[in-house]
Amino acid sequence: MSKKKKTKEDYYLASQWTLMARKLKKHKLAKVSLIILAILYFGALFADFFAPYSISNTSSLYKDTFPSKIHVMHDGEFVGPFVYGLTKTINKKDLKAPIVIEEDTSQYYKIGLFVHGDEYKVLGLFTSDIHFFGLKEGSNGGTSARIYLFGGDVLGHDILSRIIVGGRISLTIPFASAFISFFLGITIGSLSGYFGGVFDMIVQRIIEVIGAIPQIPLWMALSAAIPDGISTVKIYLYITIILSFINWTGMARIVRGKFLSLKNEDYVMAARLAGVSTWKIIWKHLVPGFLSYLIVALTLGIPGSIVGETSMSYLGLGIKDPATSWGVLLQEASDVKVVAAYPFKLIPIIFVAITVLAYNFLGDGLRDAADPYK
Amino acid sequence: MKKKLLSLLLAATMVVSLAACGGSTSNTPSAEPTPTKAAAKNTPAAQATNTPTPTPVSVQEMKFSQAPTVKSTAKVEDRLPVKTDVFIEQVDANGNPLEIGVYGGNLNLLGGSSGWNTSRAMLETIIHYNTDGSYYPNVIKSYSVSSDYKVWTFKLREGMRWSDGEPFTADDIVFWYEAVHKTNFDTKADWTALRENDEKNGDFAVLTKVNDYEVTWTFQNPKYPASFIENGDFKWCWAPEHYLKDLIPHSVWAESTLSDEEVLIKAKEKGLDFEKVKDLGKQTTYYFWNWPGIPTLNSYVISTEAGLNNYKGATCEYLRNEYFWKVDANGQQLPYVDKLVYTMTTAEGQEILLFLSGKLDVIGVTMDKISSTLADAGDSADLRTFSGSGWGTCQITFNYTSTDKNLADLFAKSAFRQAMSISVDRNEVSGLLYDNFLDPGQACPSIGNFGYDEEWSKKWTEYDPAAAKKLLESCGLVMGKDGYYDFADGTDLLITFYYVADSGDDKTYTVLKNYWSKVGIRTDAREFTREAYDQKIDNNDWVASCGPTTSIGGLGLNDRPAPFVPIAEAAEWYGEYGTYYQYSGEKGVKPTGDFQKLVDLYNEWKATPDRSKKDEIALKIYDIHKENLWSIAYLEGIGSYKLINSKIHNFPDNLVSADLYQYDNIAHFWTFFIK
Amino acid sequence: MDTNTNCNVNKDQTKSWDKIINSLKDFFGKDIVRYIVKRILMFIPTIFLVSFLVFFVIQLPPGDYVSSEVAKLAGEGEYLSEKEANDLRAEYGIDKPFIVQYGMWIRDIIWTPTDSQYYRINHSHHNWKYSFEQKKNVWTVIEERLGITILISSIIMIFQYAVSIPIAVYSATHQYSAGDYIASIVGFLGAAIPNFVLAFVLMYLSYKWTGNAQVGLETKEGVIGFLKSLVIPIIVIGTSGTCGIIRSVRAQMLDEIGRQYTLTARAKGVKESTIIMKYCFRAAINPTVSGLGGILSSLFSGSTVTAMVLGLQIQGPQLLAALQAQDMYLAGSIVMVQAILVVIGILLSDIVLAFLDPRIRYSGGSR
DSSP at B568:
S
Using the 3D structure, point to which of A138, A157, A176 is the last residue of a domain. A157
**A329, part of any domain:** yes
Confidence at residue C132, expressed as pLDDT on a 0 to 100 scale: 86
**A23, part of any domain:** no
Which residues from C are below 8 Å from B275, CB to CB?
A: 118, 130, 137
Instruction: Note the Cα B543 to chain centre separation in Å.
Output: 29
Among B279, B313, B358, beta carbon nearest to C135: B279
Confidence at residue A16, expressed as pLDDT on a 0 to 100 scale: 66
- Higher local confidence (pLDDT), C21 or C207: C207
Confidence at residue B99, expressed as pLDDT on a 0 to 100 scale: 94
Q: How many domains does chain A have?
A: 2
Indicate the average pLDDT of chain C. 79
- The stretch B470-489 carries a mean pLDDT of 92
* Residues 6 or more apart whose Cβ sits within 8 Å of residue C111: C125, C126
* C192/A216 Cβ within 8 A: no
ipTM metric: 0.82
- The stretch B332-336 carries a mean pLDDT of 95
Does residue A322 have a cis bond before it (omega within 30 degrees)? yes
* C313/B314 Cβ within 8 A: yes
Q: Is the pLDDT assigned to residue B16 strictly greater than 60?
A: no
Strand order in the sheet with B214-218: B142-145, B151-155, B214-218, B206-211
Confidence at residue C22, expressed as pLDDT on a 0 to 100 scale: 59
Query: Quick one: CA dihedral B620, B626, B630, B636, positive or negative?
Result: positive
* B314/C216 Cβ within 8 A: yes
Provide the pLDDT confidence category of residue B22 given band limits of 50, 70 and 90: very low
Asked whether the beta carbons of B646 and B449 are under 8 A apart, the reply is: no
- Please indicate whether the domains covering B140-296 and B393-635 agree at the CATH topology level: no
The rounded distance, in Å, linking the Cα atoms of B291 and B282 is 11
Percent of chain B whose predicted confidence (pLDDT) is above 90 = 61
- The stretch B83-89 carries a mean pLDDT of 93
Confidence at residue A230, expressed as pLDDT on a 0 to 100 scale: 66
Pair (A361, A304) in one structural domain: yes
Q: What is the DSSP string of A76-115?
A: TEEEEEEEEEEEEEE-TT-TTS-EEEEEEEEEEEEEEEEE
Query: Quick one: CA dihedral A245, A251, A253, A259, positive or negative?
Result: negative
The rounded distance, in Å, linking the Cα atoms of A284 and B91 is 87
Tell me, what amino acid is at B357?
S
**A14, part of any domain:** no
Size of interface B-C (CB pairs under 8 A): 94
- Higher local confidence (pLDDT), B617 or B8: B617
Asked whether the beta carbons of A294 and A189 are under 8 A apart, the reply is: no
**A262, part of any domain:** yes
- Higher local confidence (pLDDT), C109 or C42: C109
- Please state the CATH superfamily assignment of the domain spanning residues C143-356 in this structure: MetI-like (1.10.3720.10)
Query: In angstroms, how far apart are the furthest CA atoms of chain C?
Result: 85
B424 touches chain A (CB under 8 A): no
Q: Which residue, among C66, C132, C215, would best test binding to B if mutated, counting the most B CBs under 10 Å from its CB?
A: C215
A370 touches chain C (CB under 8 A): no
Confidence at residue C85, expressed as pLDDT on a 0 to 100 scale: 86
The 10s digit of each residue's pLDDT in B237-268 is 999 999 999 999 999 999 999 999 999 999 99
A208 touches chain C (CB under 8 A): yes
The rounded distance, in Å, linking the Cα atoms of C92 and C131 is 10
Asked whether the beta carbons of B634 and B426 are under 8 A apart, the reply is: yes
Tell me, what amino acid is at B323?
Y
- Higher local confidence (pLDDT), C8 or B547: B547
The rounded distance, in Å, linking the Cα atoms of B204 and B469 is 57
- The stretch B421-443 carries a mean pLDDT of 92
Indicate the average pLDDT of chain B. 87
Q: Is the pLDDT assigned to residue B26 strictly greater than 80?
A: no
Closest CA to B274 of B248, B300, B305: B248
Confidence at residue B40, expressed as pLDDT on a 0 to 100 scale: 38
Q: Using CA coordinates, name the residue in chain C closest to B658.
A: C77
- Please state the CATH superfamily assignment of the domain spanning residues B140-296 in this structure: Dipeptide-binding Protein; Domain 1 (3.90.76.10)
Pair (A136, A223) in one structural domain: no
CATH architecture, domain defined by B393-635: Roll (3.10)
Q: What are the φ/ψ torsions at residue A84 (nearest 5 degrees)?
A: -95, 160
A32 Cα to chain C: minimum distance (Å): 15
Q: Is the pLDDT assigned to residue C362 strictly greater than 70?
A: no
Which residues from C are below 8 Å from B535, CB to CB?
A: 67
Size of interface A-B (CB pairs under 8 A): 74
Q: Which residues of A111-134 are buried (b: 16+ CB within 10 A; e: fewer)?
A: bbeebebbebeeeeeeeeeebbeb
Other CB atoms within a 10 A radius of the CB of residue B568 amount to 17
What's the CA dihedral at B656, B435, A323, B534 to 10 degrees? -10
Instruction: Note the Cα B651 to chain centre separation in Å.
Output: 19
Q: How many helices (H) and strands (E) does chain C have?
A: 20, 2
Among B273, B312, B353, beta carbon nearest to C213: B353
Q: Is the pLDDT assigned to residue B53 strictly greater than 60?
A: no
- Higher local confidence (pLDDT), A299 or B663: B663
Provide the pLDDT confidence category of residue B44 given band limits of 50, 70 and 90: very low
Pair (A132, A167) in one structural domain: no
B368 Cα to chain C: minimum distance (Å): 18
Using the 3D structure, point to which of A157, A187, A221 is the last residue of a domain. A157
Provide the pLDDT confidence category of residue C214 given band limits of 50, 70 and 90: confident
Q: Is the pLDDT assigned to residue A135 strictly greater than 70?
A: yes
Confidence at residue C20, expressed as pLDDT on a 0 to 100 scale: 59
From the CA atom positions of chain B, what is the Rg in Å?
Answer: 26
Using the 3D structure, point to which of A128, A157, A186 is the last residue of a domain. A157
**A3, part of any domain:** no
* C211/B357 Cβ within 8 A: yes
Q: Which residue, among B351, B372, B394, B518, would best test binding to A if mutated, counting the most A CBs under 10 Å from its CB?
A: B372
Q: Is the pLDDT assigned to residue B594 strictly greater than 50?
A: yes
- The stretch A41-63 carries a mean pLDDT of 91
Asked whether the beta carbons of B595 and B401 are under 8 A apart, the reply is: no
Domain residue limits at A198: 33-43+162-370
Q: Is the pLDDT assigned to residue C11 strictly greater than 60?
A: no
pTM value is 0.85
Confidence at residue C9, expressed as pLDDT on a 0 to 100 scale: 43
Instruction: Note the Cα C349 to chain centre separation in Å.
Output: 13
Q: Using CA coordinates, name the residue in chain C closest to A361.
A: C184
Q: Is the pLDDT assigned to residue C364 strictly greater than 60?
A: no
In this structure, what CATH number is given to the domain that contains residue A261? 1.10.3720.10
Percent of chain A whose predicted confidence (pLDDT) is above 90 = 21
Q: Is the pLDDT assigned to residue B8 strictly greater than 60?
A: no
A349 touches chain B (CB under 8 A): no
Pair (A112, A132) in one structural domain: yes
Q: Is the pLDDT assigned to residue A22 strictly greater than 80?
A: no
Task: Provide the residue ranges of all domains of chain B, joining segments of one domain with +.
Answer: 140-296, 393-635
B511 touches chain A (CB under 8 A): yes
Other CB atoms within a 10 A radius of the CB of residue B674 amount to 18
Task: Provide the residue ranges of all domains of chain C, joining segments of one domain with +.
Answer: 143-356
Pair (A89, A140) in one structural domain: yes
Closest CA to A33 of A24, A20, A23: A24
C-alpha to C-alpha distances, B567 to B195, B354, B579, B636, C79, nearest whole angstrom? 19, 44, 7, 26, 15
The 10s digit of each residue's pLDDT in B359-387 is 999 999 988 888 888 888 888 999 999 98
- The stretch B503-528 carries a mean pLDDT of 90
Confidence at residue B430, expressed as pLDDT on a 0 to 100 scale: 92
What burial class does residue A179 get, using C-beta atoms within 10 Å of its C-beta: 0-12 exposed, 13-18 middle, 19+ buried?
middle
The rounded distance, in Å, linking the Cα atoms of C247 and C183 is 10
Pair (A87, A236) in one structural domain: no
Asked whether the beta carbons of B391 and B449 are under 8 A apart, the reply is: no
Hey, which residues does B153 pair with through a beta bridge?
Answer: B144, B216
Confidence at residue C301, expressed as pLDDT on a 0 to 100 scale: 65
* B372/A340 Cβ within 8 A: yes
Indicate the average pLDDT of chain A. 82
C-alpha to C-alpha distances, B319 to B105, B228, B663, C81, C266, nearest whole angstrom? 11, 32, 22, 35, 73
- Any chains having at least 3 CB pairs less than 8 A from chain A are B, C
What burial class does residue B582 get, using C-beta atoms within 10 Å of its C-beta: 0-12 exposed, 13-18 middle, 19+ buried?
middle
Q: Is the pLDDT assigned to residue B14 strictly greater than 70?
A: no
C196 touches chain A (CB under 8 A): yes
Phi-psi region of B587 (alpha: psi -120 to 50; beta: other; left: phi over 0): beta
The 10s digit of each residue's pLDDT in B311-329 is 988 899 999 999 999 999 9
**A7, part of any domain:** no
Pair (A232, A115) in one structural domain: no
Q: What is the DSSP string of C33-54?
A: HHHHHHHHHHHHHHHHHHHHHH
**A18, part of any domain:** no
Closest CA to B614 of B14, B145, B20, B22: B14
Pair (A166, A152) in one structural domain: no
Which residues from A are below 8 Å from C251, CB to CB?
A: 292-293, 295-296, 367
DSSP at B332:
B
Pair (A191, A318) in one structural domain: yes
Size of interface A-C (CB pairs under 8 A): 206
Hey, which residues does C137 pair with through a beta bridge?
Answer: C130
* C140/B273 Cβ within 8 A: yes
Contacting A residues, span 210-229, partner chain C, CB-CB under 8 Å: 211-218, 220-222, 224-225
Provide the pLDDT confidence category of residue B5 given band limits of 50, 70 and 90: very low
